[in-house]
Chains A and B, each alone.
Chain A
Amino acid sequence: DGGITQSPKYLFRKEGQNVTLSCEQNLNHDAMYWYRQDPGQGLRLIYYSQIVNDFQKGDIAEGYSVSREKKESFPLTVTSAQKNPTAFYLCASGDFGNTIYFGEGSWLTVV
């Protein structure tokens, strides 16, 4: 099936740990995105990438890092510098036709 796959669906992080969320797409899209959603709130952009080996900071990039070594993959690392990482993380991808699709999301909880 074509689409965007995020894993894991649920992840628990201990204080001081780095964790990585996976995002893979087989839609042949150039652009990929990471958003954070807090309960009852909208989406805030963390990072986005328009092309392989290039990415830009969004509005809340501090404490996060990304890589784009392959067109289909855009992993997000939540570092220990992110002081309040508990949230719902959404990955998306889009093309020049301006359709942008989302994955099913990953829940990250600090324990």
Chain B
Amino acid sequence: GEDVEQSLFLSVREGDSSVINCTYTDSSSTYLYWYKQEPGAGLQLLTYIFSNMDMKQDQRLTVLLNKKDKHLSLRIADTQTGDSAIYFCAEKMDSSYKLIFGSGTRLLVRP
């Protein structure tokens, strides 16, 4: 079945690294996404990775995929107060248009 799970809350100090985790259940070829949502706004696509990749890096963002454990993580280096938001993990099977979301992780960055 389709299910995406995330921890609900993460608090870090400004300048530290943040790691947000996600697990998914579908074993098909799939795309995995990270979105950021600020209060009252839509979702901003941060990055995505295909399930045949292990890692993807984009400036301060690093995505790691462990296919064996169906575990996805988003690392934000040098976390800033502007990174405070809700981060959503999402999964989409290659053969489908349907996007399945986790419940979101609220990241709080303390000065």
Is B42 in contact with A90, judged by CB distance below 8 angstroms?
Answer: yes
How far does the alpha carbon of A45 sit from the alpha carbon of B90 in the complex, in Å? Answer: 12
What total of chain B residues lie within 8 Å of the partner, measured CB to CB? 21
A103 on the B face (CB < 8 A): yes
Contacting A at CB under 8 A, from B80-111, are 88, 92, 97-104
- A98/B48 in contact, CB under 8 A: yes
The residues of B that contact A33 with a CB separation of less than 8 Å are: 97, 99
Question: What class of interface size applies to chain A in its complex with B?
Answer: 20 to 34
By a CB distance below 8 angstroms, the chain B residues around A98 are 31, 48, 50, 92
A102 x B102 contact (CB < 8 A): no
Interface residues of A in 27-75 (CB under 8 A from B): 31, 33, 35, 41-43, 45, 48, 50, 58
The chain B residue sitting closest to A31, CB to CB, is B97
Partner of A102, one of B40, B43, B98, B100: B43
Q: Give the 9 A-B residue pairs with the shortest CB-CB distance, closest first.
A: A42-B103, A102-B43, A102-B42, A104-B42, A43-B101, A31-B97, A105-B42, A42-B101, A98-B31
